[in-house]
A and B are shown apart, each in its own frame.
Chain A
């Protein structure tokens, strides 16, 4: 936050520490997410990538350090609280409830009730409105799925992932965290999900994309956060840095300081 023109930070973490017994998963990790960007988070196994994401999504509580949302210090006691604060996370296991319909999946845990006595007294669900809203939300994001009443399991892996991302985008007011959204998808299906991620960003949401897939990271990311040894190793600019240099930074073969200054994103 040195220049006036620097974009607003939606989410920030300072000096996060998380220990599991004698293992230190996070060792003073920092994190900055800007408004309307796709920030890729990459890192080797054990680099603290998933611990960082868990802390940001409320799935674990860090031992030390602070998380700021819109500049205000925040503490999440669980994923539900993070969700209430406008942070939606799509976890790696694809479908939410495979035998349930797309509309039901979109509104799971946030069901709409019927107006009037049928909603209040009988607690009846407003299935029609949920259906209409599901159609509207998915059309907005241009996810072409014919019927909202088909069970999720009838969709292809890419379509399911699109539903999961659309669900997150529909309810997030700040941040969408995507954990390996293109893993286990074919080329075409992966492309479809990446396209959707761009549209989510273009609607003004900040997206955190955790991925092992370097071509995918380079295709959509605005900045790349490299997790290393429980810290933030570097933040790279994918428009300048090469894919092989990025991998080298990630594995520690290359010091970020030895990269040209424009390769580092600020």
Chain B
């Protein structure tokens, strides 16, 4: 047995240390995905001359913004030991709502954006209520809302793409230059949201409660934390983030696309899991999801540069997510 297990161990010199605030294991959780990112970058650099150029890297980061923002919401849900399969479709619906309202229904653009984000948050609320009040598994709830959101998107848009958008909806796609490299405002927004999520999860009681709920919901309830409110808040915030991702998606493509969100769904889950957040809940770092999203983006971009067809990219994403979940399961077993 561990020597420090004996109460007598403390009777002499105090053995407790107070150094450092970071939970142990955090460095490993972040390091894994960073190494995966580096390996992927080195591999694609050897495969294509165009990969390691400022223009291409800037493009990757721009492409990652949508998945990156969805992944923040997905991280919150997965930290509570849930999963949100509806993320990409809710994003697609929100993007149709904001583009159609702004360009066809004559709603002021700013209001249209807010309504779009509101619709996404509303889907989050429905997910959250079904998970907390009816106590359904998040997997089934969000599988249902995935299909509802998809159908709603098609019905609302008549499967038509919306063009001629007011500048407010595409503004986040504009770029500015830092040392000759184009940076999109959407990228800045994504990074700001990551910073905010990181701060809230790490430095506030509400953030720590998200982890606690994912760790042991019953024990968390018994210490007096309103676990249902934590869960509901997580699903609503996640939904609102999908709405923000919708705006980013619209800004990047310049249109309201009823078929958006189909790759983003799995990409976001892959990003979170690659980023080291455990599907079993309660452990993970939100910045890991950013790295995970970059890994997914690098693979998509690198494979495109290599001339690999997009079907293989989907295949690679599928393999990646299974590898990441396997690593999660194995590391979990090792700590037991």
Task: Pick the contact of A108: B6, B18, B223 (CB < 8 A).
Answer: B223
Q: Which residues of the partner chain B approach A124 to less than 8 Å between Cβ atoms?
A: 203-204
A144 touches B224 (CB 8 A): no
Bound complex: CA of A147 vs CA of B2, how far in Å? 14
Q: CB distance B225 to A156 under 8 Å?
A: no
**Residue-wise interface mask of B (130-156) relative to A, using a CB-CB cutoff of 8 A (1 in contact, 0 not):** 000000000000000000000000000
User: Which residues from A are CB-within-8-Å of B4?
Assistant: 144-146, 159
Asked whether A188 lies within 8 Å of B10 as measured between CB atoms, the reply is no
Counting contact residues on chain A (CB < 8 A from B), the size range is 35 or more
Tell me, yes or no, whether A80 is within 8 Å of chain B by CB.
Answer: yes
A144-B8, A156-B1, A192-B5 in contact; A104/B21 too (CB < 8 A)?
no
By a CB distance below 8 angstroms, the chain B residues around A89 are: 222
Question: Looking at the complex, which one of B18, B212, B224 makes contact with A148 (CB distance below 8 Å)?
Answer: B18
The answer on a CB contact under 8 Å between B5 and A111 is no
The residue from B5, B9, B17, B218 contacting A156, defined by CB atoms under 8 A apart: B5
Interface size of B by Cβ–Cβ distance < 8 Å? Answer: 43
Interface segment, A15-23, A27-35, A131-139, A233-241? A131-139
Closest to B335 in A: A153
Contact B282 A99, beta carbon cutoff 8 Å: yes
Flag whether B14 is at the interface (Cβ < 8 A).
Answer: yes
Q: Mark B205-232, 1 if CB is under 8 A from A, else 0.
A: 1101101100110111011110000000
Per-position 1/0 for A146-187, Cβ under 8 A of B: 111111011110110010000000000000000000000010
The residue from A108, A122, A125 contacting B212, defined by CB atoms under 8 A apart: A108
Contact A145 B16 (CB under 8 A): yes
A192 to B2, CA, bound (A): 12
Contact in complex: A131, B18 (CB < 8 Å):
yes
Instruction: Point out the residue from A83, A95, A127, A151 that lies within 8 Å of B224, measured CB to CB.
Output: A83
Complex Cα distance A159/B4, Å?
Answer: 9
Q: Which residues of B contact A127 (CB under 8 A)?
A: 21, 203
Q: A101 to B211: give the CA distance in the assembly, Å.
A: 11
From A96, A143, A144, give the contact of B216 (CB < 8 A): A96
Interface core residue of A142, A146, A148 (most chain B CB under 10 Å): A146
The answer to whether A79 and B224 touch across the interface, beta carbons within 8 angstroms, is yes
> In residues 106-142 of chain A, which contact B (Cβ within 8 Å)?
108-111, 113, 122-125, 127-128, 131-132, 135, 138-139, 142
Residues of B within 8 A of A128 (CB): 21
- Check if B10 sits within 8 Å of A143, measured CB to CB: yes
For chain B residues 290-336, which have a beta carbon within 8 Å of chain A? 335
User: In the assembled complex, which residues on chain B have CB atoms less than 8 Å from the CB atom of A204?
Assistant: none
Q: Which residue of B lies closest to A196 (CB)?
A: B7
- Chain B residues near A125: list those with CB within 8 A: 203-205, 208
For the complex, give the distance between the alpha carbons of A83 and B211 in Å: 22
Whole-angstrom distance between the Cβ of A73 and the nearest chain B Cβ? 23
A93 at the interface (CB under 8 A from B): yes
Interface residue ranges of B98-145 to A (CB < 8 Å): none
**Which stretch in B22-30, B65-73, B169-177, B247-255 binds the other chain?**
B22-30
Q: B279 to chain A: closest CB distance in Å?
A: 13
CB atoms of B203 and A122 under 8 A apart: yes
B46 within 8 A of A: no
Q: Across the interface, do B5 and A159 meet the contact criterion of CB distance under 8 Å? A: yes
Cβ–Cβ contact A149 & B15, under 8 A: no
B158 at the interface (CB under 8 A from A): no
Decide yes or no: A100 and B208 within 8 Å by CB, A189-B1, A196-B7 being known contacts.
yes
Contact of A159 among B2, B23, B219, B335 (CB under 8 A): B2
Query: Given A97-B211, A147-B16, A148-B16, is A189 in contact with B225 using a C-beta cutoff of 8 Å?
Result: no
A239 CB to nearest B CB, Å: 24
* A109 lies within 8 A of B223 (CB): yes
Chain A residues positioned under 8 Å from B21 (CB to CB): 127-128, 131, 149
User: B20 at the A/B interface (Cβ < 8 Å)?
Assistant: yes
Chain A positions within 8 Å of B9 at CB level: 144
Q: Does A98 contact B (CB under 8 A)?
A: yes
Kindly state whether residue A91 has any CB partner on chain B within 8 Å. Answer: yes
Find out whether the CB atom of A101 lies under 8 angstroms from the CB atom of B23.
Answer: yes
Q: How far is the CB of B208 from chain A (nearest CB, A)?
A: 6
> Is there contact, CB below 8 Å, between B15 and A146?
yes
Q: With a CB–CB cut-off of 8 A, which chain B residues contact A80? A: 224
Q: Are A149 and B20 in contact (CB under 8 A)?
A: yes
**B204 and A186 form a contact (CB under 8 A):** no
Q: Are A113 and B2 in contact (CB under 8 A)?
A: no
A59 CA to B219 CA, complexed, in Å = 12
Cβ-closest chain A residue relative to B10: A144
- Interface pair B205/A123, CB less than 8 Å apart: yes
**B205 adjacent to A156 (CB under 8 Å):** no
Given A99-B23, A144-B11; 8 other pairs, CB 8 A cutoff:
A91-B222, A93-B216, A96-B216, A109-B209, A125-B205, A128-B21, A132-B18, A154-B24
- Per CB-CB distance, the 7 closest pairs between chain A and chain B, nearest first, are A144-B10, A144-B9, A97-B215, A109-B223, A111-B205, A80-B224, A99-B283
Residues of B within 8 A of A (CB): 1-2, 4-11, 14-25, 199, 203-206, 208-209, 211-212, 215-216, 218-220, 222-225, 282-283, 335
* 6 A-B pairs in the complex with CB atoms less than 8 angstroms apart: A98-B282, A99-B282, A122-B204, A139-B16, A154-B335, A188-B5
Task: List A residues at the B interface (Cβ < 8 Å).
Answer: 59, 79-80, 83, 89, 91, 93, 95-101, 104, 108-111, 113, 122-125, 127-128, 131-132, 135, 138-139, 142-151, 153-156, 158-159, 162, 186, 188-189, 192, 195-196
